[in-house]
Each structure stands twice: as C-alpha cells, then as structure tokens.
Amino acid sequence: MTEADVGRVAEEIAAAARARLDAAAPPDPSPSADPSPSADRELQAARRQVAALLTAAAREADALLRRAWRAGPEEEAPGGRRRRWRR
C-alpha cells in the first residue's frame, strides 16, 4: 500500500460517511416533507453539526492512516501479523 493509497482510503471512508448522512438527512428536504419551518431549521442545524463531526473524523482517520503508513512494515499489526505496505 502506498501513501497515495492511504489518502484514497481516507477519502473513501469520508465519502461513505457523507453518503450515509445525505441518505438519512438530505441537504435540502422537500417542503412537503414537513411543513413546519422550525423543524426544518432544527434538521438543518443538526445536519450541520453532524457534517462538522464527519469532517473532523475524516481528518482524524487520514492522520491515523498516514501515521500507521509512516510507521512502516517493521511494526506488527494487531494480532501479530506483519503489515505489507510499500513506500
């Protein structure tokens, strides 16, 4: 696994999480879904909070993956297995 692969994995994790968020709470719900403007505002505020958490989690996942990649194959992975990563 190369460093570029690590970056792609982190991006794929973030994209999958965002897709789940969009499926659970669409960015722009249709007006017929809930006629209450306050419910729409609350949903959008919650969605913004979740999006911010996802962004932070994506940055953390990227940092952890890169740190593991930089540690190199000399360290054992959990379970006693050796990593098979390329530089």
In a domain, 85, yes or no: no
Query: Which residues are 82's β-sheet partners?
Result: 76
Alpha carbon distance 43, 40 (integer Å): 5
In a domain, 29, yes or no: yes
Alpha carbon distance 82, 69 (integer Å): 12
- Collapse the DSSP code of 82 into the 3-class scheme (helix H, G, I; strand E, B; otherwise coil) and give the result: strand
> What local confidence, expressed as pLDDT, does residue 2 receive?
83
In a domain, 87, yes or no: no
In a domain, 44, yes or no: yes
pTM of the full structure = 0.59
In a domain, 8, yes or no: yes
pLDDT above 80 (res 62): yes
Structural domains of the chain, count: 1
- Which domain does 11 fall in, by range? 3-71
Q: Alpha-carbon torsion 5, 11, 15, 21, what sign? A: positive
Arithmetic mean of pLDDT, 59-63: 89
> What local confidence, expressed as pLDDT, does residue 87 receive?
53
In a domain, 65, yes or no: yes
Position with higher pLDDT, 62 vs 27: 62
In a domain, 14, yes or no: yes
In a domain, 33, yes or no: yes
pLDDT above 80 (res 19): yes
